[in-house]
């Protein structure tokens, strides 16, 4: 997928790659440079097909004027063979902090004016192309997969950290300094770090699974109501899965590294690589700020606000149904409080918009997305915990599966008591709306 250019990353509407009609219908000459292209050039496959965004000469500026082209490195013959070189040149390989198994390339199209591409779909009408809409069909999947990859890295890091902590002998319990030396998994702070990772990876996994489940339902059910409900979940979940899961995965892997102490910072263990590799996920497929704008600017407003309202109503229903649960009522109450705080966040943002303070969207969007992930993660973990409690009631504490189910309940409790309260802190900052970051001159950032 070739979107990004040296001067046009987040703002894809400003791309300068151009397409010029040829004598052959549907075939255009392509000229331009793309950068950071994953798998942009490599010698694993015989040919490389670039799906490239470019603006056909005379199209309108901005995203509306963009079209999508199929640009092969080698122009295939009628017989489907590799064919002639299509003037698609690798200008260089990006030297990256991580993800080094993936060739990320600078791609020059048409250095010798001999690069051709097929227009995908119809020619622009009134200078408006279908490129962005076509690209977004892939983008939703890419964004979900980004959350999934981040979660995979965080999960394997957590599993490694837990095993390491169980084996590493260091120090004595703070509650019993005269004891023999113990493994670090027995220390409170190490348990805090492990439970942070466990609850984040489980919440992320649940969000991702729910998203794929809803995609399947939205595609396959014949029940129209169920299809609508599933589509709502897919729409709202995509920016959360992309941004919350990737931001939290990095924090989680950082805690995994901390569990290893100095050994985590060395290359002897896998954590250093996982931390490096995972750092790309908040950046690509639209930075996490772009995701938060998608949440607030599009998903909050979609269908006159009804789409988000029905997503949120499911969380409120969960609270109403489970507020008297014998084991988890205290944590369900924390979720109820966070949902009220979330509504206050929305009201505060509506207030700012009413006063014309649009900058507040930019300033708080990322934190609102994080708060959205926190309330959703808490709901899903509490759902798990309710199921786990039922199982424990059935099997008892001596059963070999008891630690697994007890762990699920502990994840939900930890999340509700230690991560969810961030929603209240965000509300406070949003209500106070301190704008000093914008009021000071730019030079204040540049002078020490
Ligand atoms: C390893 C790797 C693989 C990649 N693979 C691909 C690929 O296959 N295909 C492809 O097309 N691209 C690819 N990319 C590019 C990636 O999608 C972009 O790097 C990303 O979209 C950000 O663009 P940028 O780097 O130009 O940063 P910028 O857009 O310059 O952003 C820099 C910072 O400024 C913020 N920012 C930018 N504009 C605004 C604004 N208007 N308001 C507030 N904040 C703003 C951003 O959120 C970010 O924090 C890849 C990148 C990497 C590193």
- Ligand 1 neighbourhood includes 283 CB (under 6 angstroms): yes
Q: Which of 287, 290, 294, 364 to mutate to test the pocket of ligand 1 (most atoms within 8 A of CB)?
A: 287
pLDDT of residue 416: 98
Ligand 1 atom showing the smallest separation from residue 102 Cα: 1
Q: Other CB atoms closer than 10 Å to residue 378's CB: what's the count?
A: 26
Classify burial at 112, counting beta carbons within 10 Å of its beta carbon; exposed 0-12, middle 13-18, buried 19 or more: exposed
Specify the 3-state DSSP secondary structure of 83: coil
CA gap 186, 111 in Å, rounded: 62
- Ligand 1 neighbourhood includes 98 CB (under 6 angstroms): no
pLDDT of residue 56: 97
Run of H or E residues at 90: strand 88-93
pLDDT of residue 137: 85
Question: What fold characterizes domain 134-284?
Answer: Butyryl-CoA Dehydrogenase, subunit A; domain 3 (1.20.140)
Q: Say what angle helices 359-395 and 306-322 make with each other, to 10 degrees.
A: 30
CA gap 161, 190 in Å, rounded: 10
The tokens of 384 are what?
């798990």
CA gap 262, 274 in Å, rounded: 15
The ranges assigned to domains in the chain are 12-125, 134-284, 308-432
The residue whose CA is least distant from atom 44 of ligand 1 is 289
Contact 51, 69 (CB under 8 A): yes
Q: Give the distance (Å) from ligand 1 centre to CA of residue 34.
A: 12
Specify the 3-state DSSP secondary structure of 358: coil
User: Closest Cα partner for 18 from 5, 32, 4?
Assistant: 32
Classify burial at 101, counting beta carbons within 10 Å of its beta carbon; exposed 0-12, middle 13-18, buried 19 or more: exposed
Q: What angle do CA 37, 288, 258 make, to 5 degrees?
A: 95
Q: Which residues are bridge partners to 116 per DSSP?
A: 29
**Which residues are designated catalytic?**
285
The tokens of 112 are what?
């010798």
The residue whose CA is least distant from atom 38 of ligand 1 is 10
One pLDDT digit (tens) per residue for the chain, 448 residues: 999 999 999 999 999 999 999 999 999 999 999 999 999 999 999 999 999 999 999 999 999 999 999 999 999 999 999 999 999 999 999 999 999 989 999 999 999 999 999 999 999 999 999 999 999 888 889 999 999 999 999 999 999 999 999 999 999 999 999 999 999 999 999 999 999 999 999 999 999 999 999 999 999 999 999 999 999 999 999 999 999 999 999 999 999 999 999 999 999 999 999 999 999 999 999 999 999 999 999 999 999 999 999 999 999 999 999 999 999 999 999 999 999 999 999 999 999 999 999 999 999 999 999 999 999 999 999 999 999 999 999 999 999 999 999 999 999 999 999 999 999 999 999 999 999 999 999 999 999 7
Q: Which residues are bridge partners to 21 per DSSP?
A: 28
CA gap 283, 247 in Å, rounded: 10
Contact 44, 321 (CB under 8 A): no
Contact 160, 271 (CB under 8 A): yes
Q: Give the distance (Å) from ligand 1 centre to CA of residue 283.
A: 6
Q: Give the distance (Å) from ligand 1 centre to CA of residue 33.
A: 15
Q: What angle do CA 161, 166, 172 make, to 5 degrees?
A: 115
The tokens of 255 are what?
């805690």
Q: Give the distance (Å) from ligand 1 centre to CA of residue 67.
A: 20
- Ligand 1 neighbourhood includes 277 CB (under 6 angstroms): no
- Ligand 1 neighbourhood includes 152 CB (under 6 angstroms): no
pLDDT of residue 136: 87
Q: Give the distance (Å) from ligand 1 centre to CA of residue 17.
A: 17
Alpha-carbon distance values, 385 to 165, 231, 410, 411 (Å): 25, 26, 8, 8
Question: What fold characterizes domain 12-125?
Answer: Butyryl-CoA Dehydrogenase, subunit A; domain 2 (2.40.110)
User: Closest Cα partner for 40 from 73, 7, 17, 13?
Assistant: 73
Run of H or E residues at 109: strand 104-109
CA gap 239, 280 in Å, rounded: 16
Q: Which of 9, 62, 293 to mutate to test the pocket of ligand 1 (most atoms within 8 A of CB)?
A: 9
The tokens of 128 are what?
């408006």
Q: Which of 1, 2, 3, 4 to mutate to test the pocket of ligand 1 (most atoms within 8 A of CB)?
A: 4
Contact 332, 319 (CB under 8 A): yes
């Amino acid at each position: 997928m070739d979107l990004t250019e040296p001067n046009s990353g987040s703002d894809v509407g400003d791309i300068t790659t151009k397409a010029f009609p040829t004598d052959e219908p549907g075939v255009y000459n392509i000229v331009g440079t793309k950068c950071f292209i994953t798998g942009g050039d490599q010698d694993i496959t015989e040919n490389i097909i670039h799906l490239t965004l470019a603006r056909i000469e005379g199209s309108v500026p901005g995203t509306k004027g963009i079209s999508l082209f199929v640009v092969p490195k080698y122009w295939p013959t009628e017989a489907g063979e590799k064919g002639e070189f299509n003037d698609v040149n690798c200008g260089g390989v990006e030297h990256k902090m991580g993800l080094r198994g993936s060739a990320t390339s600078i791609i020059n199209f048409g250095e010798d004016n001999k690069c051709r591409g097929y227009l995908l779909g119809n020619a622009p009408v009134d200078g408006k192309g279908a490129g962005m809409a076509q690209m977004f069909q892939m983008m939703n999947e890419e964004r979900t997969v980004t959350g999934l990859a981040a979660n995979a890295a965080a999960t394997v890091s957590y599993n490694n950290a837990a095993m390491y902590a169980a084996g590493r002998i260091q120090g004595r319990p703070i509650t019993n300094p005269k004891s023999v030396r113990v493994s670090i998994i027995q220390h409170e702070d190490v348990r805090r770090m492990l439970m942070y990772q466990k609850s984040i990876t489980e919440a992320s996994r649940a969000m991702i699974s729910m998203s794929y489940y809803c995609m399947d339902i939205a595609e396959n059910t014949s029940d129209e109501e169920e299809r609508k409900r599933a589509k709502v979940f897919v729409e709202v979940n995509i920016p959360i899965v992309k941004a919350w899961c990737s931001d939290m995965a990095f924090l989680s892997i950082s805690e995994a590294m901390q569990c290893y102490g100095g050994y985590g910072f060395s290359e002897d263990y896998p954590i250093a690589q996982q931390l490096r590799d995972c750092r790309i996920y908040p950046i690509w497929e639209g930075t996490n700020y772009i995701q938060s704008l998608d949440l607030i600017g599009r998903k909050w407003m979609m269908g006159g606000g009804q789409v988000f309202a029905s997503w949120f109503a499911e969380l409120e229903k969960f609270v109403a149904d489970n507020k008297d649960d014998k084991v988890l009522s205290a944590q369900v109450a924390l979720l109820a409080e966070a949902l009220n705080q979330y509504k206050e966040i929305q009201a505060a943002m509506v207030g700012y918009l009413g006063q014309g303070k649009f900058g507040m969207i930019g300033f708080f969007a990322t934190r609102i997305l994080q708060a959205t992930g926190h309330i959703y993660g808490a709901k899903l973990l509490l759902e798990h915990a309710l199921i786990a409690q039922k199982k424990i009631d059935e099997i008892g504490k001596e059963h070999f599966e008891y630690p697994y189910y007890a762990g699920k309940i502990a994840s939900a409790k930890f999340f509700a008591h230690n991560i969810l309260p961030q929603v209240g802190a965000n509300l406070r900052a949003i209500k106070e709306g301190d704008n000093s970051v914008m009021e000071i001159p730019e030079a204040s950032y540049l002078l020490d």
